[in-house]
Amino acid sequence: MTAVATPPARTPDTVTDTSTAEVGVRRHARPGIPMTRLVGVELRKMFDTRSGFWLLASIGITALLATGAVILFAPDASLTYDSFAAAVGFPMTVILPMVAILSVTSEWSQRSGLTTFTLVPHRGRVFAAKGVAVVLVGVVSMAVAFGVGALGNVLGTTITGTPLVWDMSLTHVLQIVLGNVLGMSLGFALGLLVRSSPGAMVGYLVYAFVLPTLAGVLAAFQQWFADAQPWVDFNFAQGQLFNEIESAEQWAQLAVTTTGWVLLPLTLGLWLARRSEVK
């Protein structure tokens, strides 16, 4: 008789192990969602809601209103590019941080976070995309503001017959953009910490309108706080950017206050938001 060799039978365990390994390889090889797509989605989400749309629309509306107000009411000697840019930029310093807040808190307040974090389980990538989208909106908004200011400067001087004055340097323009980006970063950090649109908005309004008044009164009556204010008051240090920082000490004051008011809350907010329950 001739012995016939037969291949060894594959046991169920062997089949299961092989299938699991193949699935693991395929899963590992599957490309993830690119960051550019995440940023695009977050930019679109900032326009989708009525609150977000009207906040962004109000940037253009207030820019036009501020330009018209300068042309109508400002004296002829004040019709300079700096005056128009300041009038257009001031409302944006208030509106842009609100946009940053809503970009984060909408995931919890509008209950879209469950879908977002299911499609992209790595929350850090989602928050990074939100941060990039917020900075892009801030930079583009400031470009619009400077463009409207330039148009207002040309129209205002043409109507009144005054000389055309361009009295802002590129350094000053970049510092104003930096100041607004830092303001949006503060709003972004506040949104991560609170994760509720009403609560974060109230906290921001207290910071933007109540704290500066209290700090100004305290500095007027207490010399020790007047000396310490540039080192502990982020609103004060940030405001120096809009008047153009010229000394190393002012940059140091901005760095110290940014660390305490923006970087530390942002780090804590990211830690909390990545671990918070989404319903």
**Cβ-proximal residues to 146 (8 Å cutoff; 6+ apart), any chain:** 85, 88, 173
Confidence tier at 23 by pLDDT (50, 70, 90): very low
Mean pLDDT of the region 174-180: 91
Neighbours of 90 (CB within 10 A): 14
Query: Do 130 and 42 contact (CB within 8 A), yes or no?
Result: yes
At 158, list the tokens: 């043409």
pTM of the model: 0.84
pLDDT score of 229: 94
* Residue range 115-146, pLDDT digits in tens: 888 888 888 999 999 999 999 999 998 888 88
Q: What does 44-100 look like in DSSP terms, one character per residue?
A: HHHHHSHHHHHHHHHHHHHHHHHHHHHHHHS-GGG-SHHHHHHHHHHHHHHHHHHHH
Mean pLDDT of the region 40-51: 83
Residue indicated by tokens 């995931």: 107
pLDDT score of 5: 53
What are the residue ranges spanned by the domains of the chain?
34-273
Q: Please check the confidence at residue 195 and state whether its pLDDT lies above 70.
A: yes
Confidence tier at 90 by pLDDT (50, 70, 90): confident
Q: Please check the confidence at residue 210 and state whether its pLDDT lies above 90.
A: yes
Least confident of 10-14, 116-120, 176-180, 250-254: 10-14
